Every structure is written in C-alpha cells, then in structure tokens.
Chain A
C-alpha cells in the first residue's frame, strides 16, 4: 500500500523506496492473525450454526452457537485493537468455554464422536497458540518502570521554582491587527 500511495503524491514529496523494520513485533502480528481468525469463525457460527451442531451431533444448541459466534467477534475486534492483550486473554477464556461445551458431546451413542474428538484436539491446539500469544503480547507491552523513573530534579526552571512563580505576569498577548471593517451597505 505504501508503494501504491506513491503515485498519488505530489512531485516534490518523498516516496517510499524501500520499507524498513516495523514497530509491530511477531506477537502483534500473531494477535492480528488470531483476531481475523476469530472474526471469521464468529461470522460462521452466527450464519451457519446448524451445520456446526449437526457436525458435532449437538442438534438443538444453535442459539448457543450463535451466542458463541457473537463472543468470537468481540474477542476478534479486541485482538485487532490496541488492547490486544485483553482480546487474546478473552480468546483463552472462550477456548475454555468451547472445550467445556464440546466435551458434553462426548457421550455414548453420538454418531459424530469422531468429529467431536477432532474438534477437541483442534481446540486444544488453538488454546495453546492463544495462551502463548496472550503471554507474549502482555510481556511485550507491559509498562516496565526501568531505571529512569526519578524526575524530581527536573523543574525546568534554571533560576529555581521560587523565582519562576509569577515570572511571566508581565506577559501581554500580542494584539493582532484589528479585523478589517465591514463594508457599509447603507447611507
């Protein structure tokens, strides 16, 4: 996109020749990928809940699947936002909920038991990725106080605070020239 936007820029403006390293880290990119995945899955759950319940032998749970779809979209939006840590941890909580719900289909007589096992395995895999992603994002963006935290000697007043108090009381805003007089429209 940056290269494409070059064609819209005036002749004298600099154009991107070679893109450098991004402020986005791998954890941020993973968060974006999971965010879009979440939104895609959420839309599928909202639009085609019956196909999901039939595949898992969970007919009658369509409303629940739709609700989970809305939850997925919420988590996805958060994962794409600057509060991506909240988004990814909400995905982890959602994973737990999904596993608990799908596990109820592990009952004798469910003819789709194979799909259920496969789904649980996939959910376990996604949970691992979500946990790793959430941890990485949390660590990357955590406020660390570091070494430079004492600024009690930085008054900004070379002559001292006491002398600074009221030192600019002499200030008078520059008076801009008076506005042009309006043209007279009558006599």
Chain B
C-alpha cells in the first residue's frame, strides 16, 4: 500500500509499504477514506519532537471503513462500519479511561517503559507520532491498524460526509476542549493565539459556549479573515501590539481566558527579541520549545484568569515568568485531547447543524501529493489552512 513516511527532518515521502496486519484480538484494520495533515505533524516534519524513527508512518487525523476485525473486538465494530479514528488510542478500561482522561490511558502506549522514564508516567499511545507515545503507524496511508479498536473509534451515522466528521478525530475536540477548560462565562473575553486549524476550532467553540467576545491573534490575512468569519475580533501582530490592543478591548483589564493554539514553534521575528533568543537556544539544543505565546499570555491575562494550552509543547521551555503567573493567581489547563470524552456531544452538534467543521478545509489532494502538501502547509502557500488527503 501507499503511505506518507517520515524519513528525517523535512523529508516526508509517499512510500510503498507492506500492509498492516491484525496483531491482537482487539485490533481492526481500516481502509482510510480521508486523512488530514495536522499542525502538530509540522513539529514532526521539523524534527522538534524527539524519538521519531525513519520509516514511521505519519498521520493522526483519519477516518475510513472497517475491513477486518480481531476476535476480541466483541461485536462493537464490524466489517463495513464507517468510523473516525481518534488520535489517542484508548483501552477504555483502565482507571484513567474510566475517569474520561483518555489522553493519559494507562495501557495503550506500547513503549510504556520509555514514556515512564521520560514523562515520569506513561501517557496514551498516539497514532503517527513519536515513539514516546508508542510509535504506532499513522493514518496517512491507504490502510491502518487500529489497536484497542473496540474502544478507539467514533462511529459515523449515515448522511454525514467525511469532511463533516473527519475532524472529530483531533482538531475539533482539541479546540473544543481548549475552550471548555476555560469555563467560559457570558461576560468573558477569550483571547486565542494562532488562527491555524486548531485556533479556528477554538474560536468557534468559544463562540458556541457563549463568550462575550472572542479575540483571535495571527499575522496571516487569510487566517484572520477566516477567524473574523467565525465571529472573532482579530489582531494582526505584525501591525499592532497584542498587549495594547487586548487591554484596549477589555477596558484595561486583560482577557479573562487565554488559549495558546501555537505551542512550541512561535513565529520568530526580530521585533520580538525573545523569539530570536529561543530560536538560537533551540538550534543549539539548549531549549526544545519557543514559548513566546506562553509568556505573552501570562503577561496580558487578567488576574485570576485561565490559561488553556492545546498547542503542543515537546520538552523544555525557558524564561517563563512564573512570578507573574503565581502573583496573578492564574490557572493553567493543558494536555493532549481526551477525544472520546467530547465526541458524542460534538457529533450531535454537527448533526443538528450548529457547526460544520468542513469550513476549515482549503486544500484537498491525493495521498501521493502528500509530500508537496506538507511543504505547502508549512510554508503557508496558496492560502493553505487545512489539507485533506484522499488515499
């Protein structure tokens, strides 16, 4: 079969690989009908996430049709079922899964020993990601194996297109969780850094959850335009001061809730010297992430506010103003998404027509064109916001 394979930094290829096989009774094989390139795939593309291996199959946002099931799937899935595959692999039975903390499932990471050493305790296995999270082959492929398939799936009802439901596997619940963990009140100003795909979903989620005003921060006009269409007030940080404008919009108080949809790769610009400092340290492997957005959020957030972090961080950050955060009494909430905690509710909202996540798709291409689409998405060419691939 064909699959997009990581060969090293900035080196993704559409390779011919052997077909996946059922390994365990709870496995299923899925014929992928649609998959997407996620913003966090770019962190892997840039080799900023440790423990990737040449030959790893990319992709953690995918859906398709079940073509084979193991004997232990126990009737919960059958051949022909149409499913979205969440990017977090869940056993559904461990203590964390029972609590709904699916992204820290205690059983699904097959490199648990490695994760225990690096993170202190293991987190869930993830598709198409680092070997710290199991190194499971991803879904940017014609076929994929889904471990713990009886729990790791979202069944798609008839009548919905791939494009409407595909993002239930990652960016939609990720943006939703980011907004939900802000405990949004009707009087709140929610500021969202980054108008990429997750940022766009966070904006829509904050609007649906009833924030008084949603403010979106980016520098790319097409992304700011999409954010505005979703109900956000926009700030182009190339043109104006983020801190001054946010204070102006909140009568000097600062936004009540701040959401970081950027993560470890803040834009580097000479006008913000800390970003250059971070990039230099990152290049010398003295710091893994560039946390400019985190610093700005801590500075501008209203005291007693909430900082919500769906953006991916990979390792060690530097010069975090912890004194500001502590004295202002900020609450930090973060983590990989507990996808299945939210998907029943979000699927209902899609079916009811409250939201149609397909608005974010700007490019659709064949799997074979994947390497070029990675480059286009990374370089933000041709107004690219979200790429969907059709194997």
Identify the A interface with B (CB < 8 A): 1-6, 8-25, 28, 77-78, 81-83, 141-159, 161, 164-169, 171, 173-174, 176-177, 179-180
Per-residue interface assignment for chain B, residues 328 to 360, with 1 indicating a CB less than 8 Å from any chain A CB and 0 otherwise = 000000000000010001000100011111011
Chain B interface (Cβ within 8 Å of chain A)?
Answer: 1-3, 5, 7-23, 27, 45-46, 53-57, 95, 98-101, 110, 137, 141, 145, 180, 186, 200, 204-205, 207-210, 221-223, 225-226, 228-231, 268, 279, 283-284, 341, 345, 349, 353-357, 359-360, 362-363, 368, 371-372, 374-375, 379-385
Q: Is the CB of B231 within 8 A of A164?
A: yes
Taken together as a complex, chains A and B put the C-alpha atoms of A165 and B384 apart, in Å, by 27
Q: Which residues of A contact B208 (CB under 8 A)?
A: 164-168
Would B230 and A156 count as touching, CB distance under 8 A?
Answer: yes
User: Which one, A14, A142, A169, contacts B18 given CB within 8 A?
Assistant: A14
CA distance A150 to B222 in the complex (A): 6
* Given A15-B18, A16-B17, A152-B228, A24 and B11 contact (CB-CB distance below 8 Å): yes
* Cα distance A147–B225 in the bound complex, in angstroms: 14
Count of CB-CB pairs between chains A and B under 8 Å: 217
- 16 extra A-B contacts, CB within 8 A, seeds A23-B13, A23-B372, A145-B382: A2-B15, A13-B137, A13-B145, A14-B1, A14-B141, A17-B18, A22-B13, A23-B11, A143-B381, A149-B222, A156-B204, A159-B353, A161-B229, A166-B210, A168-B208, A173-B341
User: How far is B374's CA from A174's CA once the two chains are assembled, in angstroms?
Assistant: 36
Report yes or no: B21 in contact with A151, Cβ–Cβ below 8 A. no
Question: B354 is contacted by which of A15, A152, A168 (Cβ under 8 Å)?
Answer: A168
Docked Cα-Cα span, A156 to B171, in Å, equals: 14
Question: Which residue of B is nearest A143, CB measured?
Answer: B380
Our pick among A83, A143, A144, A151 for the contact of B385 (Cβ within 8 Å) is A151
Q: Which chain A residue lies CB-closest to B46?
A: A82
B371 and A157: CB pair below 8 A? no
B88 to chain A, nearest CB (A): 15
Q: State whether B207 touches A164 (Cβ < 8 A).
A: yes
The residue that A146 contacts in the complex, of B110, B279, B383, with Cβ under 8 A, is B383
Considering the chains assembled together, what is the distance between the CA atoms of A104 and B200 in angstroms? Answer: 58
Nearest-CB residue, chain A, relative to B208 = A168
In the complex, the chain A residue whose C-beta lies closest to that of B9 is A82
User: How close is A145's CB to chain B, nearest CB, in angstroms?
Assistant: 6
Residues of A within 8 A of B374 (CB): 23
Sample (23) of A-B pairs whose CB atoms are under 8 Å apart: A5-B54, A8-B53, A12-B145, A15-B55, A17-B16, A18-B15, A19-B5, A19-B15, A20-B368, A22-B7, A24-B11, A25-B375, A83-B268, A151-B229, A152-B226, A154-B226, A154-B230, A157-B207, A158-B355, A164-B231, A164-B354, A168-B210, A176-B99
Task: Specify which of A12, A142, A150, A166 is in contact with B225 (CB 8 Å cutoff).
Answer: A150
CB of B92 to closest CB in A, whole Å: 12
**Closest residue to B141 on the A side, CB-wise?**
A14
Cβ–Cβ contact A155 & B3, under 8 A: no
Q: In whole Å, how far is A109's beta carbon from the nearest beta carbon of chain B?
A: 43
Query: Roughly how many angstroms separate A157 CA and B13 CA in the complex, as a whole number?
Result: 36
- Distance between B214 CB and nearest chain A CB, rounded to angstroms: 10
With contacts A24-B11, A166-B186 taken as known, whether A154 is within 8 angstroms of B229 at the C-beta atoms is yes
* Interchain CB contact under 8 A, B381 and A1: no
**Contact between A1 and B210, CB atoms less than 8 A apart:** no
Contacts of A156 in B (CB 8 A): 200, 204, 229-230, 355-357, 359-360
| With A141-B379, A156-B230: A21-B13 Cβ-Cβ less than 8 Å | yes
Specify the chain B residue showing the minimal Cβ separation from A81: B283
- Residue in B13, B27, B98 whose CB lies within 8 Å of A12: B27
CB distance from A58 to the nearest CB of B (A): 30
What CA separation (Å) do A10 and B111 show in the bound complex? 12
Residues of B within 8 A of A164 (CB): 204, 207-208, 231, 354-355
The docked-state distance in angstroms from the alpha carbon of A147 to that of B229 is: 18
